[in-house]
């Protein structure tokens, strides 16, 4: 917003990403979070000088395009649009320019995106999205969807978080044991025990429904455990493309698949959210990165 620079607290400042796009940099006791105005995408979280999030080896910081990495936002549909055609995968929120509407010395920033002619041409509803980013000992993200129209709408949403794991072969996801899921991968693991923690042994693209509010990602190659705590999220998607799909994906080098996994906090498919006029839905994610892998 014009003139907002003078009112920013000392630990929030404006900066630019490698492509010259506007971002906000939050600092707390040596830790750093960078949030792009394009898509309100968290690009980076440095804890004790180390990246918790992962970014592809060949990132493109282009106007109106998400970076492969960090935390892109998914809204109002997940994956390819159900009607096909040329509408963007994962919706349009991640390509919009968001406005800064609030900043404080916690530090916290709140960015906002509202419908316009272009969004209504793709999805005929009026809405207000707000993303809150709070940096402390933990990183907290909150995505609120408000229906500002006169009729209810149904939407999907996700915080599509890319985590650095060092070596995906040794990474495990805990908390989804016994939770119903569907596997979307084209070349998935032939067989696995759903009662055991999730291991990565092949292309993985599992949508879990009715998920608990606490998950753990253990990354022994980086000697860290990441605890994910959510509210308002009934779905989780766990994804790694493995080498064959990596070769078809933008911004990625051939070996990138070995160094990350995604755990998306979401409401998709059967858990899509219906919001009445004047009502809202809030999804929140709190990330705690701890030394050690158990």
Here the tokens at position 237 are 């998607």
- The Cα–Cα gap between 89 and 16 comes to 26
Domain CATH code at residue 261? 2.70.98.10
Gyration radius of the chain over CA positions: 18
* H-assigned helices in 95-186: 117-122
- The Cα–Cα gap between 35 and 38 comes to 9
Which residues does residue 283 pair with via DSSP β-bridges, in sequence order? 143
Instruction: Give the pLDDT mean for 276-282.
Output: 98
- The Cα–Cα gap between 157 and 228 comes to 17
Full residue range of the structural domain in which residue 102 is found: 4-291
Tens digit of pLDDT for each residue in 184-240?
A: 999 999 999 999 999 999 999 999 999 999 999 999 999 999 999 999 999 999 999
Instruction: Give the pLDDT mean for 152-179.
Output: 98
> How many domains are there within the chain?
1
Q: Is the pLDDT of residue 84 over 90?
A: no
């Amino acid at each position: 917003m014009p003139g907002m620079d003078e009112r920013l607290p000392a630990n929030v400042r404006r900066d630019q990403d490698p492509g010259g796009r506007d971002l906000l940099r939050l600092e707390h006791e040596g830790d750093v979070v960078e949030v792009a105005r394009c898509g309100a995408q968290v690009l980076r979280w440095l804890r004790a000088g180390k990246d918790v999030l992962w970014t592809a080896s060949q990132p493109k910081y282009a106007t109106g395009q998400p970076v492969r990495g960090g935390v892109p936002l998914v809204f109002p549909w997940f994956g390819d649009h159900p009607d096909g055609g040329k509408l963007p995968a994962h919706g349009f929120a991640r390509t919009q320019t968001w406005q800064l509407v609030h900043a404080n010395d916690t530090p916290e920033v709140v960015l906002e995106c509202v419908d316009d002619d272009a969004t209504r041409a793709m999805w005929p509803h009026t809405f207000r999205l707000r993303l809150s980013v709070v940096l402390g000992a933990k990183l907290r993200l909150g995505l609120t969807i408000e229906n500002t129209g006169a009729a209810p709408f149904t939407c999907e949403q996700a915080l599509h978080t890319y985590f650095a794991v060092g070596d995906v072969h040794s990474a495990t996801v805990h908390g989804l044991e016994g939770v119903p899921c569907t596997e979307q991968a084209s070349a998935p693991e032939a067989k696995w025990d759903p009662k055991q923690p999730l291991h990565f042994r092949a292309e993985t693209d599992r949508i879990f429904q009715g998920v608990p509010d606490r998950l753990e990602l253990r990354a022994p190659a980086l000697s860290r455990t990441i605890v994910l705590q959510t509210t308002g999220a009934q779905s989780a998607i766990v994804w790694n493309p493995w080498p064959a799909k990596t070769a078809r994906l933008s911004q990625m080098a051939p070996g990138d698949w070995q160094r990350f996994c995604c755990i998306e906090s979401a409401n998709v498919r059967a858990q899509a959210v219906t919001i009445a006029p004047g009502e809202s839905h809030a999804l929140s994610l709190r990330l705690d990165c701890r030394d050690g892998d158990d």
